[in-house]
Structure 1
Amino acid sequence: MTLFLALIAALVLGGGLGWLFLNDPGYVLIAWHQTSVEVSLSLAVLMLVLVSVVGLVGLELLLGVFGLRRIILQWSDQRKVRRAGALLAEGVGLLQRGEAARGEKRLMQAVKLSPHPFAAASIASDSARRRHEFRLAEDYLDMATGAADHLPLELARVRIWIDGGQWEAAAARLKSLHSHYRREPALAELLVDVLIRLQAWEDLAGWMPKLSGMLGHERAVALAVDAHRQIMGWMAQTGSRVERAASLRRLKAYWEAVPAALKQQPDLVEAYAEAMVRQGFDDEAEPVVREALGHHWHNGLIALYGRIRSSYPDEALQQARAWQSKRPQSPLLLLTLGRLYLQNRDWDAARASFEQSLSLGKSTETYAEYVRLLQHLNDPESAHYLVAGLQQLTQRPLPHFPMP
């Protein structure tokens, strides 16, 4: 439509000028010092058009054929890049001085000039995200949309959603991205993190076999251990008491799928064994804990060993005594020994172990076991130790008041 109107306007203008030239051709006088030239108006217009066309053709040849246009564009692009770099540096400096508004403004100016806008947009977005201005943070990222940094841009957006509490949306986007970026560690770490936040244990259990191989560095390993612990705890909680064998098979199958490197983590072994104990499979848990303690001494595992109700408590006690010969001053091992003595109905030895444990380190749990034993023995000292144990739970000692 615009081209048609422009053509009509040109025809009308051309017809009007032609009619004027026919009725009053006029003239043009060109004078220079003592020389003058007089030509008709129509000839002057024709000469002007010819000179303009020749000039435009010459300029196009100069710009195109001889590379002048490329040189000018390169100079213009380089100037924009230098300006964008200066704005980026200035914006970061302002952010470091606490001037968030001015710093983000400079960064957005850099985004408009830079051929790679993601860096400046990401820094501005992180600044807004730290201030919990999540909508503004996402707006900054939108200004870099279309850049080549598609995955980093999407991951930055997901982090905004996570910090803003939009965990369901974050999980959905990460699952969608995973189909295109299956080997991306940062994506795997974020997906595990958000599923833990959602406490979507069943969903997480399905994803962990796919993601475990991507969780290799130190923080990701800790995240993977936490995820596996939570899943096995969920399995123990939801396991059927009626179909106990099926619950145990499910737990063992999940453990088999855990990467071998993670199976060496004592925290994870403890979670696996504790899940079996919670489902009533103490005899299956005992060798797992015993073998793990043979490789790595771990307080959580030694405490769990004392809570296992093995069918052979005498053998468990013998194993704990062997450990005591190497660690005679461990209050936690002495607590475990006391519990194993209880299982073997050796009340005096259990009492002695609890007392020795308390002499090496005060523990509310040890006090509780000791007081329970004294009460069953009808020992009058139980009340005294009960008070001492309860004081372990207070932030400060009880004040001295008159007592009956």
Structure 2
Amino acid sequence: MKRIFLVCLLILIAAVAFVGLVKHDPGYVLISYGLYTVESSLTVAVIALLAVMLLISFVLWLAYRLVNQSLAFNRWFSGRGHKRSREKTAQGIIAFIEGKWEKSRRLLTGAAEKSDTPLINYLFAAWASNELRDDEKTRELLAKASASNSGAAIAVEIAQAEMQIDRGYLERSLATLTRAKNEASKYPYVYKLLQQVYTGLKDWDGLANLLPELSKHKIIDKDELQALSQQCCQQQLLAIVAANTDANVNNAKEALIALWKRQNKMVSRDSASVLCYAQCLVRVADEALAEKVVRDQLNRDWQPALIDLYGVVKGADSNKQLLHAENWLKERTNDARLLLCLGRLSLRNELWGKAREYFESSNKLSANSEACAELGRLLARLGKHELSNSYFHQGLLMSTHGLPELPMPSIKA
């Protein structure tokens, strides 16, 4: 208030002084420019100058106000646009969660242009398109997502790979993940997706090469890693045998042995994997090595499937093979599977009486069709046909889980 008063006072004093000067001498002003001249008293010139200055000031003030009003309007309008975009984005995500894919895509793409996070809009819209099985639109939206944020290329490729896996496009997903693999050390989830793809494609070699990375980055827990390693090894062994021919049997044998040597202890001491390896060795005609592999594993882990294989595989020395099995019998006197194995090994050594004793003991401990069948064919060759038929009949009934009690004709003499 005081400042306004002082300004008004100064203006009044200046005006009084100016009037006094004008009365004393009105002055003379001449302005010449080219062929034009303007003559005026000092009073009129000063008043004209002040009027021009006021006019310029007014024009500048008016322009300033108009610009400010325009910016404020733009901010207001832009703010409303962003607010509507946020509302549409929220509605689109809610529709996505509810499974309303078409509505979700429409809302998210419509709000993407003015969204603070267009990447999220386009990614969710792409997922909605994937659920709608609209491949072309999915690719289009993923491209927009990648373009909306230059640092999100890997994230977009990971999302694309997930969508391809979801659709069953495993080869396409593998190509996508291969591009992202160079950055996988920063994005370990890429390895998890590669695991799914390799397993789905039954690419056991690719999966085997991936196992160290799965372990290093702790993508899966120890038990799952062990199970996956064992499955991978077994499938690789079977693949080598499946490709085996009479012409390359030696190559197949060498490939089996080389593959087995590369396995770690959690695979090489797993009974299921050892059984698979031994069975593959038998199929490439290396039963001597198969016998040794099975024997060593039985000394570590006693499994019925392994003892069954040990009874039929032909070792380098059948007599020593029988002795090894009889040593196990000292600790496992009531093991029906071991007794069956011993009976078969006795047959290999042409010990007919011992074989019969072992088969009979196995059948007494646990009646089984295999022991009956072995007794039946052994006794038939020994000329004891009636007893042989009896065992064959017993084994047949066990293999068919018994027959119902029904009327039968009387036995004819």
Q: TM-score range by the shorter chain?
A: 0.5 to 0.7
Contact 1:229 1:272 in 2 (8 A): yes
- How far is the alpha carbon of 1:58 from its aligned partner? 0.7
Aligned residue-pair number: 327
- How far is the alpha carbon of 1:365 from its aligned partner? 4.3
Please state if 1:195 is matched with 2:205: no
SS in 1 for 2:314: coil
Mapping of residues 345-384 of structure 1, within 5 Å: 345-361=350-366, 363-379=368-384, 380-384=386-390
- How far is the alpha carbon of 1:322 from its aligned partner? 3.2
Matched to 1:339, the amino acid is R
RMSD: 4.2
C-alpha distance after superposition, 1:30-76 (max 9, x if no partner): xxxxxxxxxxxxxxxxxxx9999645521466589xxx679938x93
Matched to 2:392, the amino acid is L
- How far is the alpha carbon of 1:310 from its aligned partner? 0.7
| CA distance 1:307–1:151, shift in 2 (3 Å) | farther
Contact 2:170 2:197 in 1 (8 A): no
Please give the alpha-carbon distance, in whole angstroms, between the structure 2 residues aligned to 1:363 and 1:80. 75
Contact 1:158 1:173 in 2 (8 A): no
Please give the alpha-carbon distance, in whole angstroms, between the structure 1 residues aligned to 2:228 and 2:137. 30
Please give the alpha-carbon distance, in whole angstroms, between the structure 1 residues aligned to 2:402 and 2:93. 53
| Structure 1 residue aligned with 2:51 | none
Matched to 1:58, the amino acid is N
| Structure 1 residue aligned with 2:275 | 270
Mapping of residues 80-119 of structure 1, within 5 Å: 80=85, 84-85=89-90, 88-89=93-94, 91-92=96-97, 94=98, 102=100, 104-105=101-102, 107-108=104-105, 111-112=108-109, 115=117, 116-117=120-121
- From 43, 67, 86, give the equivalent of 1:57: 67
Mapping of residues 68-87 of structure 1, within 5 Å: 72=79, 76=82, 80=85, 84-85=89-90
C-alpha distance after superposition, 1:317-347 (max 9, x if no partner): 2322333344444333333222222222233
Contact 2:279 2:290 in 1 (8 A): yes
Matched to 1:76, the amino acid is H
| CA distance 1:157–1:292, shift in 2 (3 Å) | same
Q: TM-score, normalised by structure 1?
A: 0.64
| Structure 1 residue aligned with 2:237 | 232
Please state if 1:315 is matched with 2:314: no
| CA distance 1:118–1:71, shift in 2 (3 Å) | closer
Please state if 1:154 is matched with 2:160: yes
- How far is the alpha carbon of 1:309 from its aligned partner? 0.3
Q: Which runs of 5+ in 1 are unaligned?
A: 1-48, 95-99
Q: Which runs of 5+ in 2 are unaligned?
A: 1-58, 147-151
- Shifted more, 350-359 versus 184-193: the winner is 350-359
| Structure 2 residue aligned with 1:213 | 212
Please give the alpha-carbon distance, in whole angstroms, between the structure 2 residues aligned to 1:361 and 1:341. 20
Please give the alpha-carbon distance, in whole angstroms, between the structure 2 residues aligned to 1:385 and 1:271. 32
Please give the alpha-carbon distance, in whole angstroms, between the structure 2 residues aligned to 1:142 and 1:333. 66
| CA distance 1:375–1:52, shift in 2 (3 Å) | farther
| Structure 2 residue aligned with 1:25 | none
Identity %: 23
Please state if 1:281 is matched with 2:286: yes
- How far is the alpha carbon of 1:88 from its aligned partner? 3.9
Contact 2:208 2:232 in 1 (8 A): no
| Structure 2 residue aligned with 1:41 | none
| CA distance 1:171–1:301, shift in 2 (3 Å) | farther
C-alpha distance after superposition, 1:217-268 (max 9, x if no partner): 3445434422321221232343354555443222211222334433232222
C-alpha distance after superposition, 1:167-204 (max 9, x if no partner): 555555555655664864323322331332xxx6xxx4
Which one has a bigger Cα radius of gyration?
A: 2
Contact 1:171 1:195 in 2 (8 A): no
- How far is the alpha carbon of 1:356 from its aligned partner? 3.7
| CA distance 1:263–1:381, shift in 2 (3 Å) | same
| CA distance 1:392–1:180, shift in 2 (3 Å) | farther
Matched to 2:68, the amino acid is G
Contact 2:105 2:128 in 1 (8 A): yes
